[in-house]
């Protein structure tokens, strides 16, 4: 908690003043409503009520902010863990998780499920000849091409980098002909 407070000190101070003013106005309005109903309450009780309400609302507010930021941070970490940093494709770790969830579901429901895999031919040799920077460039371009092609053809599927020059596709609907058509680049069905 102290780490969070130290890292966000300036933002907290700015929003703290605004929040406390709003809380004070709201608690004073609530007290005026109570006072209109019961005029015999002591003024000390009114002050204590307003202060306790402000403290409670401050705790609730910053607890809420802290939890929202934790959830956002967790979601960002989950995306980072499941994404290949080079190609921004989903990675093999997520593929294993998706397949463990999807295959049993489709088997029970007796729905078609198509998996496809393609490999960039002689990718290791290309890497050795032209260097890893050029290999990274090729992988990134292939990833962009595959994603763009699937979007253009409205293919309902996911694309994962399997490792090296291999990419695996998981299509959740449609027959194998439609799925291979989504992967084909117009050279007779060869998706190299």
The most confident of the ranges 2-11, 22-31, 47-56, 106-115 is 106-115
Q: Residues of 67-94 as b/e, b for ≥16 C-beta within 10 angstroms?
A: eeeeeeeeeeeeeeebbbeebebbbbeb
Residues counted in the chain: 192
The Cα–Cα gap between 140 and 89 comes to: 9
Q: Which two tokens stand for residue 156?
A: 């309902």
The residue whose two tokens read 């194998």 is 176
* Alpha-carbon dihedral angle through residues 176, 178, 183, 186, given to the nearest 10 degrees: 120
The Cα–Cα gap between 179 and 105 comes to: 19
Stated pTM of the model: 0.56
pLDDT, residue 192, reads 38
The Cα–Cα gap between 135 and 57 comes to: 56
pLDDT band at 172 (very low <50, low <70, confident <90, very high): low
The average pLDDT across 94-116 equals 87
Do 152 and 98 touch, CB atoms closer than 8 A?
no
Q: Is the pLDDT of residue 180 over 70?
A: no
């Amino acid at each position: 908690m102290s780490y969070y407070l130290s890292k966000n000190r300036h933002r907290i101070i700015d929003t703290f003043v605004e929040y406390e003013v709003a809380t004070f106005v709201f608690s004073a309005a609530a007290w005026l409503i109570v006072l209109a109903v019961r005029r015999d309450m002591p003024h000390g009780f009114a002050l204590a009520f307003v202060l306790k309400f402000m403290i409670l609302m401050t705790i609730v507010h910053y607890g809420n902010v802290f939890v929202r930021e934790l959830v956002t941070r967790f979601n960002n970490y989950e995306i980072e863990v499941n994404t290949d940093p080079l190609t921004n494709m989903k990675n093999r770790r997520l593929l294993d998780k998706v397949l463990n969830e999807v295959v049993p579901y489709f088997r029970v429901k007796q729905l078609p499920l198509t998996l496809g895999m393609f490999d960039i031919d002689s990718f290791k040799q290309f890497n050795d000849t032209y260097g890893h920077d050029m290999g990274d460039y090729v992988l990134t371009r292939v990833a962009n091409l595959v994603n763009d092609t699937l979007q253009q053809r409205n293919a309902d599927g996911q694309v994962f980098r399997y490792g090296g020059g291999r990419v695996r596709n998981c299509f959740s609907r449609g027959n194998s002909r439609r799925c291979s058509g989504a992967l084909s680049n117009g050279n007779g069905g060869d998706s190299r």
